[in-house]
Chains A and B, each alone.
Chain A
Amino acid sequence: MAESTQLKSEVLLEQMKLHLATDAGKKLTKEIGHVYQLNIAPTKIGFDEVIFVVDLKKGEVKKGPYEDGKPDVIFSFKDEDFIKIATGKMNPQIAFMRGAMKLKGSISAAQKFTPDIFPKPAKM
C-alpha cells in the first residue's frame, strides 16, 4: 500500500483475487467464463481511471488493461458505484440506467456481471 489514497474497488478486487482461488471462486470461473475489464475512476467516469481485469476464464484479477486480446465487456464506473454494485447496494441495471455504469462489448456477457461474483468483505 504505497499510496494512502487508494480505490475501495482495489481492496475488493484484491479480495476477489484470493476468492477466485477457492472452490467457490473456481466454480465462478467455470460458470461465467468471461473476461471483464473494469475501468474504475476515483470521482468521474473517464478520468484518472484505474484499469483492472477480472478474468473469469482463467480465474485471475489483474491491474492494467487486458493484453490477451479483447475483453468480453469493458465496464466503466466510479469507485463508489462499483462498490455499490459489487456489494448489492445498487442493481447493475439501475446503475446502467442512471449512467453510473457504462459498458462496451457483449451484452450477454455483461448480464452475467452480477453482485454474486464478488466476495463480500467481512466486517471487523
Chain B
Amino acid sequence: MAMRELVTGGAACAVPGSSSVANPLSNLANALIGSSSKTQERLKEIPTSTTAGSHGQFNSDHDDFSTTLPGSESDYQQNQHADGQGLAFLDSYHATNRAGLADAWDEIQHQRNTYRNEEGQTHLTESGLIYNQGPTAQTQLSFNGTPQKILSSFLHSFVNSSCGDFPFRPTALPVLGLTKGEKRCIRDRSSIMARHFFSDKSDEFINAQVDALLCSLDIDNNIQAMGSLPWRFSDLENYWTESQGAFATSPPAERWVTEYEQQREHVDPGGWAHLFNQQHGPSGWASEFGDEQSQITSVTQIQGAHISNLAAMEQSRLLASTLAQNNDPKFQNSKFLQFVSKMSRGELFIEDNQVQSSSVSVAEDWATEYKKHYIAGLSETDQHAHKELSYGPDKWVHEFATGSKQHELVDDQWADEFSKLHVQDWVEEFGNQVGKGALGEDSTDSWAAAYDEYLSEQVATKRRLDSSKGIYVFSDMNPYVGHPDPLKEGQELFRKGLLSEAVLALEAEVIKNPENAEGWRLLGIAHAENDDDQQAITSMMKAQDVDPTNLEVLLALGVSHTNELEQAAALKYLYQWLRHHPKYGALAPKELPDSLYYADVARIFNEAAQMSPEDADVHIVLGVLYNLSREYDKAVTSFKTAIKLKPRDYSLWNKLGATQANSVQSADAILAYQQALDLKPNYVRAWANMGISYANQGLYEDSIRYYVRALSMNPKADNAWQYLRISLSCASRNDMLEACDSRNLDVLQKAFPL
C-alpha cells in the first residue's frame, strides 16, 4: 500500500515531521537502480546533499544552460505547468525527508527548471529560493501571469490535446483565485465536455480525463494546502485505510448533494472548501502522478534523471547535467519505462517503509494492476476514487451519462452554472462542445445524424455558394443544348407555364448566346417564378452586365434582393431603375450618392407617381420600396393601384399577397395568391407562398400540401424543401421527414394530396 502512495505521486509521503528513519523514497530509488541498501549511505555522499551547497553549484551550472539552450517564450506557460507539478512533487520530498535524495532531486529538478526557462536568471533565483526553503516557502510559489491566463491556457491544453492519457484522483482546492462556484462550473462542465471529446472511449477513460483535469487545476494551490495539512505519514498503510474508511462512512451522493446545495445558496462556502479539502486534499497529491502527457514527460524526465543520477552516484552531478541537456523524449521515456516495467514485474515493492525485492507481496499485485491500468490509461487511484468516493464530478457525470430522470433538472442546473463561469475562452470552447450532446437526446445518434446532414448540406450549399458568388449554375443534362432556336422555345415554354422546362431552354440559349440580355432576363424571371431567388439574381446580373439600363432587369433585381432581405442592394437597383427611366430619370440627382437613403429614394418615387399616376410600373416599384421600409399598408395600396392598371399580371397578385402575408394579413394573402394561381397555375412561387401563409398561421398540415405542390413543379426549390421540413416536424409528421430529406416527391405527394 505504501508503494501505491509512492507511485501515484506520494502525496501521503509528504508528511512533515515524520520521524521515520527509513525513507521510503530513497529506498525505492535505491531499489530501482538495483543497488543495495547501502545506497542510503552513499546518497549522503552526493555533493549536493546540503541544500545550500547544491543550489549554489547548480545555479552556476544553470547560468550556462540558460544562455546556451534554445527555448521559446511561447513554451514558457506550459513549462511552467510542468514545473509547477514538478515542484509539487519535489515539495513532498522536502516535506518527507531532508536526506540527500531529496536534495539530489531538488538539484535535478532545479536544473531542469532553469534549463527550460529561457528567462533563466530571474526564474532560477526564484525557484531556487523556493526549493531551498522547502515547505515554508511554498506559499511563495506562483505562476507568472494572471490566474485567468494560466487557467485559460491550461484549459486550452486540455481541450486541444488528447494526450491526457492518465486519469487522476480528483482533488479540489482553491486554485488560481477561482471561486468555489467557478471551480464547480469547471468541474461540471468539463465532465460533459470530456464526454464529447472522448465519445469513442469508455466511461472510465472519460472519468479519468475529467479527474485529470480537475486535479491538474488544483495542483498549483495544492502545494500550499498540502504543506499545511497534517499528515500521518509514518504509516502509509494506516493512512490509506483510514482515508478509505473516511470516505466510506459518508454516503457520497448525499454528501455531494449537500455540498452542492451549500454552493447554490452560497451558504458557508468556507465550510464547503474545508469539507472538500478534507475529503480530497490528502489523497490529492497522489493523483498528480499521472497527468497529461506533457506533465508526465516532465515527471519522467525527473525520474529518468533521478535514476541515472543515483546509479552514477559520484558522477551524479555530471550525469544530471547531461540529462538535463539531453532533452530527447525517447531517452527520457526509456528510463521511465524501465522504472515502470520493473515495478510492474513485481521486482520492487515497498513494505514497512523498506524497499524489498520480492515476488510475493501485495505490492506486486498492485504493481501489475498498475501496469495494466497504466496501459489502459486508467490509474488505480482513479478507479478507486470512482468506485468508492463517488465524488462530485464523477457522480454527476454518471447521472448525466445514464440519462436518469433527473437529467433535465441537472441539465438546467448545469447550464445555469455554465453561464456563471467567466473564463471566456473556456466558455466558448465548451459552448462548441456542449451543444452537440446537450441538444440531442442521444448524443451518438445526433452526432451521426448531424454529420450526415452536414455532408448533404455541403453538397447543397455548394450550388448555393456558386450562385451567390455570381456564378450561374447550369443544369447538368440539358436536352435543349443544340436546339436551333432555344430562346423562342424558351419563351414558348415560359408562356405555357412550364417553368422548369423554360429554364432549361433559356439556359441553352444563354450558353449559345451569352450576350443575349433577353435570354438572361427571361431566365431570371423564370427562376424567380420558380422560387429560386439566388439563381434569379445571378441571371439578372448577367442580363444587367449585357444591358445595364434594362428597366425590367433592374426592377427584377430590386425585387429579388428584397426577397433575400438584402435591403441595401435592393434599394440600389430600384434607384437605378428610376435613374434609367426615360421619364423619371430627370427626377433623380445626376450624381449617384455613395450611400442611398431610403427616405430620399422614396420621396423621388412619390414624385414620379404623382407625375404619372397611370403608370403601373411606378406603383410597383413604390410597393417594393414600402416593403423595404416595412410600411406594408402603403405597399398594399401601391400594389392594389398597380393591379387596377394591370389586372392580368399574376406577379402583381403575388406581390400583393406576399406583402399582405408579411404584414400578417394571411387570410387576405391567400386570396391574392389564389388570384395569381388562377392566372398562372404553374406559378411555383405563389404555391410556395401559400404554404408559407398557412404555416405562419400554424396550419402546418395545410402548408405541407402547398409546399409539396410547389415542389412537384420545381423540385429544385430549396427554400420550399426547408420550409416543408419545418412544417412536417411541426405537424408531428416525423414519419415523412425521411422522404423530405431524400426529396422523395412521390411519397410526399401520395401522403399529402392537394
Contact = CB atoms under 8 A, between A and B. Distances in A.
Interface in B80-101: none
Contacts of A50: none
A94 B454 contact: yes
Given A102-B428, A108-B408, A121-B662, A88 B567 contact: no
A108 B408 CA distance: 8
B697 interface: yes
A123 B527 CA distance: 13
Contacts of A97: 432, 435-436, 450, 454
Interface string A8-33: 10011011001101111001000000
Interface in B579-606: 595-599
B403 interface: no
A89 interface: yes
A19 B567 CA distance: 20
A44 interface: no
A8 B664 CA distance: 19
Contacts of B438: 107
A43 interface: no
A105 B227 CA distance: 39
B565 A11 contact: yes
Contact of A107 (B439, B531, B627, B629): B439
A63 to B, nearest CB: 14
Interface in A82-124: 83, 87-94, 96-97, 99, 101-108, 110-111, 114-116, 119-124
A93 B435 contact: yes
Contact of A122 (B419, B453, B624, B661): B661
B693 A11 contact: no
B628 interface: yes
A29 B169 CA distance: 47
Size range of the chain A interface in the assembly: 35 or more
Nearest to B639: A124
Contact of A106 (B416, B695, B722): B416
B669 interface: yes
A49 B657 CA distance: 33
Contacts of A11: 565, 567, 630
A22 B457 contact: no
Interface stretch (B23-31, B248-256, B269-277, B684-692): B684-692
A15 B428 CA distance: 30
B415 A106 contact: yes
B688 A93 contact: no
Contacts of A104: 418-419, 427, 431
Contacts of A87: 719, 722-723
B663 interface: yes
A4 B415 contact: no
Contact of B664 (A2, A18, A88, A103): A18
Nearest to B464: A89
B481 to A, nearest CB: 30
A24 B702 CA distance: 14
B434 interface: yes
B559 A24 contact: no
A120 B669 CA distance: 14
Q: Chain B interface mostly helix, strand, loop or mixed? A: helix
B663 A18 contact: yes
Contacts of B440: 93
B710 to A, nearest CB: 11
Contact of A88 (B411, B415, B599, B725): B725
Contacts of B657: 122
Contact of A8 (B533, B566, B688): B566
Nearest to B660: A122
B457 A1 contact: no
Contacts of A111: 439
B435 A103 contact: yes
Given A93-B450, A108-B411, A1 B436 contact: no
Interface string B417-456: 0110000000110011011101110000010001001100
Contacts of B608: none
A105 B419 contact: yes
Contacts of A90: 457
B658 A124 contact: yes
B361 to A, nearest CB: 50
Contacts of A114: 726
Contacts of A103: 431, 435
B563 interface: yes
Interface in B439-479: 439-440, 446, 450, 453-454, 457
Interface in B274-319: none
B571 interface: yes
A123 B533 contact: yes
Contacts of B531: 123
Nearest to B408: A108
A92 B431 CA distance: 13
B730 A122 contact: no
B685 A123 contact: yes
Contacts of B663: 18
A28 to B, nearest CB: 8
A94 B453 contact: yes
Nearest to B655: A124
Contact of B692 (A21, A22, A120): A120
Contacts of B408: 108
Given A91-B450, A96-B432, A96-B435, A120 B412 contact: no
A108 B436 CA distance: 13
B568 interface: yes
Contacts of A121: 563, 565, 662, 692
B696 interface: yes
Contact of A108 (B415, B432, B598): B415
B659 interface: yes
A124 B624 contact: yes
A114 to B, nearest CB: 8
20 contacts: A4-B598, A18-B662, A19-B664, A22-B666, A22-B697, A24-B698, A87-B723, A88-B722, A93-B439, A104-B418, A104-B419, A107-B415, A107-B434, A107-B439, A116-B730, A120-B695, A121-B692, A122-B657, A123-B688, A124-B654
Given A27-B698, A97-B454, 4 more contacts: A11-B567, A91-B450, A104-B431, A106-B412
Shortest 4 CB-CB contacts between residues of A and residues of B: A96-B435, A88-B722, A24-B698, A8-B565
